[in-house]
Amino acid sequence: MRIGSFELGNRVFVAPMAGVTDRPFRQLCRRLGAGYAVSEMAASNPRLWASEKTMRRLNHDGETAPIAVQLAGADPQMLAEAARFNVARGAQIIDINMGCPAKKVCDVCCGSALLRDEALVARILETVVDAVDAPVTLKLRTGWDPDHRNAVAIARRAERAGIRMLSVHGRTRACGFRGDAEYDTIRAVKQSVSIPVVANGDVDTPRKARQVLDATGADAVMIGRAAQGRPWIFREIDHYLRKGDEFPAPTVAEVRPLLLAHLDDHYRFHGEFAGVRSARKHIIWYTRGLAGGADFCARMNTIETTAEQGRAVDIFLREHGSRHERLQYARPTLH
């Protein structure tokens, strides 16, 4: 599969997730089998570009190509300028966010709120495509609410505007993450355009990935919440799609060096104060299903230094690694 001149490693992608898919996590997912990853959503407002939060989100040092940056905004010219700004700083693909359902994003007419104005969507996409030489892609939902599903119409406008790939989360904005993903709508989108279409929503096992690809005809699948605490899901799915059999779940002994390396990279990237706090969610996702995990996770919220936090994780995983326990705990709740 290709996006512009970039040939991707496989058909299993990392979904952009605010507060989760920072550079350390993206790099880990790529090492564990993801064929493509997109940055966290960054604001197109130039007044925010110099903020520490935005600059960290746009830091791609050492990242594997292609480097993809997701932008959010509602003003065509502002988004175009943000695209130029990012391409000048190393972005190789620009992704436009029209899928985020968060209230604070939709309240300023960004994210999935844009789906209510198809004419504005077309102006945004045309303006950004014209502004940069890099390929431009689009992430969207199936519509604003179940009475206004317009993903097919948006997809057709996007293709005419020059968008090179569509990633479709199979729910409306009003649905949030509730109910089952609408794979029939994703299939209708795929049948309406000739550009690649990526299916997103509720893909949490290798077998489910195969079923979704078959049901939608999509070119790839995109994994979000199911990768939280389980970044090896990408190699599991890729292996299943290529070989047809299950890749064994890792033992704690195998995961321990992965998690410790992830934490080290995370601390270096975020610093002491932010690092110890933002690492908590990753540690909890990794360990909550292990014996004694609930008490250990509660303790994580009381640790205030990266050194102590890393030590505690190491000791906890060493104990479980000696028993060769496998991380086969329940998947994250997806509905």
Q: Per the residue annotation, which of 100, 106, 110, 297 is the catalytic one?
A: 100
139, 49, 56: which is closest to 93 by C-alpha? 139
Is residue 29 part of the annotated active site? The answer reads no
CA within 13 Å, CB half, 310? 18
What would the two tokens of residue 60 be? 């791609």
Q: How far apart are CA 315 and CA 93, in angstroms?
A: 41
Distance of CA 218 to the CA centre of its chain: 17
Strands 2-3 and 93-98, how do they pair? unpaired
**Given the structure tokens 């991707």, which residue do they identify?**
8
Phi, psi of 220 (to 5 degrees): -160, 170
d(CA 324, CA 192): 49
Which residues are CB-contacts of 211 (< 8 A; sequence separation ≥ 6)?
A: none
List residues with catalytic annotation. 100
